[in-house]
Amino acid sequence: MAKSPKQFVILSDSRSGTSFLSETLNVHPQILCHGEVFHPKPSSHIKVPLEARELDDLVALREKDTAAFMDWVFDQPDFEAVGFKIWRNQSPDQTDALMADDSVFKIIYERKNVLARFSSSRLVQATGIYNLKSDSNRPTELDTKITFNEAEFSKYLYSHSELFTLYREKSRGPILDITYEEIKNHGFARVLDFLGISFEILEPQKKKLHGSSIIDRFEPSVHNAIIAAVTGAGHAEWVSED
């Protein structure tokens, strides 16, 4: 009888560098890492051939019988570890069930620089560009400058803090609490070790959309307001991200 793969989930939120993590893990021969299987349009997020089931049937199964859909997602016996990424607003009930299931390995994956996340989300709205493959040229549209609303940023910062507090307080079983910044700077070894997967040097499959100066993503007229906002939040360092 084939051994069941280790099941894992990446608990995070949008614009946190999750594609950088999941797509790179997916090149390891012992790992299958789907994307957002609870995305409203999951076709590009499912990383196995769909010949056996029509995508519409899978989406219907996901809505009607989530447990059966989860069995399908994880039922990949050719791999040592199988997982996917999710943010709680995509499926609160399923996220809560995964957090409570102590047999599922949890990777709590946070991008600590919330101004970077905030600016990235607004630039997606402005440009429609979500990710770049490692070998892609950078489109000039990514040089678009965005505006800043302090109240909107404060609300975003509060939601970020609440979400990751919930992930940490409610998750049970094996947990790896790791940041985008740590993986970007030091590689994927801790994740592979956590999953019990043999070490390989993994070549990142995504490249950064924007430069290290976060404040320069915004129109110059709002720079002083940004500095005041992040300083007031106790994170003056968020104006840049190495």
pLDDT tens-digit profile of 193-203? Answer: 999 999 999 98
Q: Is the pLDDT confidence value at 1 over 50?
A: no
The mean pLDDT of 98-121, rounded to a whole number, is 96
Q: Is the pLDDT confidence value at 8 over 80?
A: yes
* The pLDDT of residue 127: 84
CA–CA gap between residue 25 and residue 191 (Å, rounded): 9
The mean pLDDT of 89-104, rounded to a whole number, is 96
Mutual angle of helices 66-74 and 92-100, in 10-degree steps: 60
* Percent of the residues in the chain that have a pLDDT greater than 90, as a whole number: 73
Q: What pTM does this model have? A: 0.91
Here the tokens at position 235 are 């994170």
CB 103 within 8 A of CB 175: no
Task: Kindly give, in sequence order, each residue whose CB lies less than 8 Å from that of residue 194, ignoring residues fewer than 6 positions away.
Answer: 105, 107, 174, 176
In whole numbers, what is the pLDDT of the chain averaged over residues?
91
CB 54 within 8 A of CB 5: no
Place 162 in a pLDDT band, splitting at 50, 70 and 90. very high
The mean pLDDT of 83-97, rounded to a whole number, is 96
CA 186, 188, 189, 193 torsion-angle sign: positive
